[in-house]
Amino acid sequence: MTVATRENESRTDLLNLYREMLLIRRFEERCNALFLQGKIPSTLHLYIGQEAVAVGVCAALRPDDYVLGTHRPHGHALAKGVTPHSIMAELYGKVTGCCKAKGGSMHVGDMSVGMFPAIAIVGANAPIATGAALSAKMRGSGQVVVAFFGEGGSNEGAVHEAMNMAAIWRLPVLFVCENNLYGASTPVNQIVAVENVADRAVAYGMPGVIVEGNDVVAVREATRTAVERARAGEGPTLIECKTYRLCGHSRSDACNYRTREEEAEWRDKEPLTWLARVLIEERQLATPSDLERIEAEVEAVMLEAIAFAEESPEPKPEDALLHVFWEDK
């Protein structure tokens, strides 16, 4: 495994990135366990292995920028600043959840921190992101919008319409394709005829960038460049992050469509191990005990989030009738 040598990032910066990725990792592991214990009624698509993408992208954004996630949105939401408490409560189906128990795992979001309710129709978030970017441009707000989707989602017509519109109008939107090699069970080489999803960018008239998706710093760099371009009015970018889902697609997936050898290869270069090596071995900016301290801090947050979710009240059955239409507060 090759690790890109990082020279400019400070210890604090890298440790922060590490902490954010670890938060997602531990959150997802907890979710999995709680699901198996029957405490979380929601279905789950976990983000384990892809943490560097959400964290790297969101680290290059302003708080008022927008992110649109997918059916696998916990990582996007946490990285954009939705609290672990409110996401956990949502997964528990409690009224304190970020969507008041109306959304569940696949729709977590919180517009007050720029995270749209996640959109679980594959590819459908791309045109909505484009609309948010049009709005940002019309309002002159300087905001940038990110649409995440998988290599599977990249084949949806909605994504193509969105990329074309974003390009013709030079909108401040980033299309971030998380290529984790499988869409559910289907391998990428069966569904994409070009070598890279990013190769398609040229067809829309926007830059296509390929990034080592498990290297959080590389993801952040690529995003920063695209964000600068977007804020300067130069239009959208398609960023393809090569990554790997280290867990099953959704609950009860034994991953029999891929090999244990392939998984082991990717495990060796998964985002946390990657960054830990940079921090400890390459740049000697941190010691294992620094990482253990972060581990303990994250563990404390997890326990609080779970306690919050468990202690929160359930919705009344008839609350199902609320919020079909907007209700003025």
Ligand X SMILES: Cc1ncc(C[n+]2csc(CCOP(=O)(O)OP(=O)(O)O)c2C)c(N)n1
Does position 129 bind another protein by CB under 8 A?
yes
Positions 9 through 68 that interact with another protein (CB under 8 A): 66
Q: Which is nearer to another protein, 264 or 324 (CB)?
A: 324
d(C-alpha 87, C-alpha 105), whole Å: 8
**How many other β-carbons are positioned within 10 Å of the β-carbon of residue 127?**
21
Of residues 120-149, which lie at the interface with ligand X (CB under 6 A)? 120-122, 149
**Shortest Å, Cβ 163 to ligand X:** 15
Type of residue numbered 274: W
Q: Does 152 bind ligand X (CB under 6 A)?
A: yes
- Give the sign of the dihedral formed by CA 26, CA 28, CA 32, CA 38: positive
Smallest separation (angstroms) from another protein to the CB of 23:
23
Binder of residue 56, out of another protein, ligand X, none (CB less than 5 to 8 A by kind):
none
68 in contact with ligand X (CB under 6 A)? no
Q: Is there binding between residue 152 and another protein (CB under 8 A)?
A: no
DSSP string across 86-132: HHHHHHHT-TTSTTTTSS-GGG--BGGGTBPPP--STTTHHHHHHHH
Q: Is 117 in the site for ligand X (CB under 6 A)?
A: no
Contact criterion met (CB below 8 Å) for 181 and 151 = yes
Residue 194, helix vs strand vs coil: coil
69 part of the interface to ligand X, by CB under 6 A: no
* Binding residue (CB under 6 A) for ligand X from 72, 137, 170, 229: 72
How far apart, in Å, are the Cα atoms of 277 and each of 14, 110, 218? 11, 34, 15
The yes or no reply on residue 280 touching another protein (CB under 8 A) is: no
Q: How far is the CB of 144 from another protein (least distance, A)?
A: 12
The residue count for binding another protein (CB under 8 A) is: 46
Tokens of 148: 């995440």
Rounded to whole angstroms, the Cα distance separating 199 from 109 reads: 31
Positions in the binding site for ligand X (CB under 6 A): 71-72, 120-122, 149-153, 180, 182-184, 249
